[in-house]
Amino acid sequence: TEEKSLHFIEQIIEDSLSSGFPQDKLRFRFPPEPNGYLHIGHAKSICLNFGLGLKYDAPVNLRFDDTNPAKEEQEYVDAIKEDLKWLGFNWTEELYSSDYFQQLYEWAVAMIKNGKAYIDSQSSEDMAIQKGTPTQPGVDGPYRNRSIEENLILFEGMKNGDFPEGSHVLRAKIDMTSKNMLMRDPLMYRILHRHHHRTGNDWNIYPMYDYAHGESDYIEQISHSICTLEFVMHRELYDWFLDQIYDDSKVRPHQYEFARLNLNYTVMSKRKLLQLVQENIVNGWDDPRMPTISGLRRRGYTAASIRKFCEIIGVAKRENIIDFSLLEFCLREDLNKTAPRVMAVLDPIKLVITNYPEDKEEWLEAENNQEDESAGFRKVPFSRELYIEREDFLEEAPAKFFRLSLGREVRLKNAYIIKGESVVKDAAGNITEIHVTYDEDSRSGSGSEASQRKVAGTLHWVSIKHALEAEVRMYDRLFIDEAPDSHKEKNFLEFMNSNSLQIVKGFVEPSLADVKSDDKFQFQRLGYFNVDKDTTEGKIVFNKTVGLKDAWEE
Ligand code: ATP
Ligand code: MG
Ligand code: MG
């Protein structure tokens, strides 16, 4: 194993271990809110937290942060678990913030009794005005000094469902003049008469994120609670809530912040991804154009390539924007090693070998993956009539055109050298057939002198009578702007790429007759493709996963 320098969170952990923190008390968590599917940004947090668990042999909990019944659903819980498993990580315990509702309620009651929380009965507008601004301190509201008895009665009433939504809230009693706006008596509970996906109608009040999160970390005895940079200002509040309940025989959780992953040409807010789904701008959360884990998986991404990407981008304290091509680079590196090579023609034009016997067919040997000897060989059928790619032929070509043209020779991959002889055109002047002759002695691998002959280029092809038809979905980026959600005056939906999906009818070699969903291939010279889940008995559907950086050189 190679020596790698520690990232700053590993450094923090190493420091606490060397100052006496017991290694067996290290504990981490990944805390998704089940209000959408996981995306590539979450993968960074997953690789970080689970990576620490592996490195230090420490537990990592999967904690569903389900404190907002208005947006959360079981479907999302199931999808998150599936994506995590697919990424290759195993959690220690599956836990839910909602499991702690009773404990959180009891702690809130204790805080009321200690004079650390009160019921505010103003409108949210009035409370917002009293809160002040970053440069102006807030002022105390009229309910701030309610008696403990009255607060307890009202809080109990809130819990029992006696009051309408918006009529009361529970607030922490901290400091309306704090420099940190989040410390100006933040909300702890609001009334919501909502069905919760796990607790049903048991609760009429739900805790706010800032209150629930740190206390949940404490309940689970999480030592290092890692979140993204936008929570830096929340840390003071996280610590304040812990101060109210901390017992020094226990591990005290600490919050650490790292830079979130930003990728160009996409959006990563779950709210916006949900909008794309709900407005049918994409075909579901797992649409292959989505930056979701399920979308990337359906597109043909491998879990290894996503983990590798997270390793390369690293963990830092400063925000930046990562180029999508880095993710594609990681994918290509992986698929290059693992994806079998096959031939497919996606924009076919008919090619006739006029000196090849009409009733003859040959099954030629083809190497499955030159990067992997163990992948072996297969047979591909060859006959007089083939498809080649339309762009691989020019009637009159410039000298640097290393493909087929009249009077010039090219090799057909795994087969023979052919020479362009003539074309057949329709009434409009479009080429409908290319006629060529072949050199019978030039078969690849035959060892003959003619087989060693160097020609300008090598083309892929399929035999028309043996080829299988396939639907091939070609994708382009979903947005035409590098940062679609960065525009103040324009909605991100204004930057949709209207050509992000193109469906073509292609032809593939018959070795692909029995493919199954998610099988991955390199279509030689075209890119990497995987089998889509829409494939049925009678219809093969491929997704273009990613292009090749270079067409092969031979
Ligand atoms: P959104 O704002 O889209 O709803 P979120 O951050 O609220 O996203 P959560 O489900 O709360 O989504 O996130 C779970 C964990 O994943 C959190 O710890 C969060 O910090 C982390 N995370 C979310 N987005 C990113 C990102 N782009 N880069 C790194 N970590 C992320
Ligand atoms: Mg969120
Ligand atoms: Mg969140």
188 and 219 in a single domain? The answer is no
Shared-domain flag, residues 312 and 194: no
Answer whether 44 contacts ligand 1 (Cβ < 6 A).
yes
Q: Give the model confidence (pLDDT) of 415-449 as tens digits.
A: 999 999 999 999 999 999 999 999 999 999 999 99
Sheet holding 341-342, edge to edge: 341-342, 520-523, 527-531, 540-546, 468-475, 501-508, 344-345
In a domain, 541, yes or no: no
What is 246-290 written as a DSSP string?
--TTSPPPEEEEEPPPEETTS---HHHHHHHHHTTSSSSTT-TTS
Q: How far is the CA of 115 from the centre of ligand 1 (A)?
A: 34
What is the per-residue pLDDT across 358-405, written as a single tens digit (0 to 9) for each? 999 999 999 999 999 999 999 999 999 999 999 999 999 998 999 999
Is ligand 1 within 6 A of the CB of residue 485? no
Specify the pLDDT at position 542. Answer: 98
ipTM, two decimals: 0.97
H/E stretch holding 310 reads helix 303-313
Q: How many C-beta neighbours within 10 Å does residue 145 have?
A: 10
* Closest C-alpha to 241, from 205, 208, 210: 210
4 pLDDT above the threshold of 80: no
Check pLDDT > 70 for residue 181.
yes
Residue 41 is assigned to a ligand binding site? yes
For position 424, which CATH number holds? 2.40.240.10
Residue-wise burial string across 157-180, b where 16 or more C-beta atoms lie within 10 A, e elsewhere: bbbeeebeeeebbbbbbbebebeb
In this prediction, residues 459-486 reach a mean pLDDT of 97
pTM, entire model: 0.95
Band (248; pLDDT cuts 50, 70, 90): very high
Residue 432 annotated as binding site? no
> Is 547:483 a contact under the CB 8 Å cutoff?
no
- Shared-domain flag, residues 371 and 447: yes
pLDDT one-digit tens code per residue, 94-145: 999 999 999 999 999 999 999 999 999 999 999 999 999 999 999 999 999 9
Cα–Cα distances (Å) from 262 to 222, 482, 484, in that order, read 27, 11, 12
Percent of the chain past pLDDT 90, that is, above it, reads 96
Residue 189 is part of a domain; what is its CATH number? 3.90.800.10
Domain assignment present for 268: no
pLDDT on residue 378: 97
Instruction: Judge if 126 and 226 occupy the same domain.
Output: no
For residues 114 and 374, give the distance between their C-alpha atoms in angstroms, rounded to a whole number.
70
CA of 143 to the centre of ligand 2 (A): 30
Residue 217 is assigned to a ligand binding site: no
* 290 assigned to a ligand binding site: no
235/326 same-domain check: yes
Which residue's CA is the nearest one to ligand 1's atom 29? 260
Q: How far is the CA of 439 from the centre of ligand 2 (A)?
A: 65
Name the residue at shortest CA distance from atom 26 of ligand 1. Answer: 41
Q: For 200, phi and psi rounded to 5 degrees?
A: 60, -130
111-137 burial code (b ≥16 CB/10 A, e <16) = bbeeebbbbbbbeeeebeebbbeeeee
Ligand 1 atom showing the smallest separation from residue 31 Cα: 14
Ligand nearest to the CA of 273: 1
Question: What is d(CA 71, CA 197) in angstroms, rounded to the nearest whole number?
Answer: 10
Least distant ligand from the CA of 231 = 1
Q: How far is the CA of 350 from the centre of ligand 3 (A)?
A: 55
**Contact 268 CB / ligand 1 (< 6 Å):** yes
| pLDDT at residue 554 tops 60 | no
Please report whether residue 492 resides in a domain.
Answer: no
* SS3 track for 38-65: CEHHHHHHHHHHHHHHHHHCCCEEEEEC
> Are residue 185 and residue 231 in the same domain, yes or no?
no
pLDDT of 550 strictly over 70? no
In a domain, 35, yes or no: yes
Q: Establish whether 45 is an annotated binding residue.
A: yes
Q: Are residues 166 and 80 part of one domain?
A: no
pLDDT of residue 553: 40
Residues 289 and 266: their CA atoms lie apart, in Å, by 9
CA of 492 to the centre of ligand 2 (A): 18
Q: What's the CA-to-centroid distance between 269 and ligand 3, angstroms?
A: 10
Residue 41 Cβ contacting ligand 1 at under 6 Å: yes
- Which residue owns the Cα nearest ligand 1 atom 15? 32
Residues 86 and 225 occupy one common structural domain: yes
213 and 202 share one domain: no
* Mean pLDDT value across residues 487-504: 96
Q: Which domain holds residue 441?
A: 348-465
The pLDDT confidence band at residue 551, using thresholds 50, 70 and 90, is very low
Q: Is 321 in the pocket of ligand 1 (CB under 6 A)?
A: no
pLDDT at 376: 95
Where does the pLDDT of residue 500 fall: very low under 50, low under 70, confident under 90, or very high at 90 and above? Answer: very high
Does 456 have pLDDT greater than 60?
yes
219 found inside a domain = yes
Q: Which residues pair with 228 in a beta bridge?
A: 258
- Please indicate, yes or no, whether residues 88 and 103 belong to a single structural domain of this protein: no
Residue 345 pLDDT: 98
Long-range contact set of residues 544-550: C-beta below 8 Å, sequence gap at least 24: 544/472, 544/473, 544/474, 544/475, 545/299, 545/300, 545/301, 545/331, 545/335, 545/520, 546/300, 546/328, 546/331, 546/332, 546/335, 548/332, 548/522, 549/332
Q: Which ligand is nearest to the CA of 269?
A: 1
The percent of residues above 70 in pLDDT, for the chain, comes to 99
Cβ neighbours, 10 Å, residue 399: 6
Q: Is 270 annotated as a binding residue?
A: yes
List all residues 6 or more positions away from 250 whose beta carbon is below 8 Å from its beta carbon: 218, 221
For ligand 1, the distance from its centroid to the CA atom of residue 487, given in whole angstroms, is: 21
For residue 186, pLDDT over 80 is answered with yes
Nearest protein CA to atom 27 of ligand 1, as residue: 41
Q: Tell me which of 64, 228, 276 to substitute to probe ligand 1's pocket, judged by most ligand atoms within 8 Å of the beta carbon.
A: 228
Residues 155 and 251 both lie in one domain: no
Name the strand (E) or helix (H) holding 527.
strand 527-531
Catalytic residues: 33, 260, 270
Examine the domain organization and report whether 398 and 452 are in the same domain: yes
Residues 215, 236: Cα–Cα separation, whole Å: 14
Vertex 33 angle, CA 233 and 306, to 5°: 95
User: Which of 45, 50, 238, 263 to mutate for ligand 1's pocket (most ligand atoms within 8 Å of CB)?
Assistant: 45
pLDDT-derived band at 51, boundaries 50, 70, 90:
very high
Helix (H) or strand (E) holding 219: helix 209-220
Q: How confident is the model at residue 2 (pLDDT cuts 50, 70, 90)?
A: low
What average pLDDT does range 250-262 have in this prediction? 97
User: According to the annotation, is 33 in a ligand binding site?
Assistant: yes
* Amino acid 3: pLDDT: 64
Q: Is the CB–ligand 1 distance for residue 32 below 6 Å?
A: yes
DSSP letter for 324, please: H
Does ligand 1 have an atom closer than 6 angstroms to the CB of 319?
Answer: no
Is 253 near ligand 1, meaning CB less than 6 Å away? Answer: no
How many domains does the chain fold into? 3
Among the bound ligands, name the one nearest to the CA of residue 63: 1
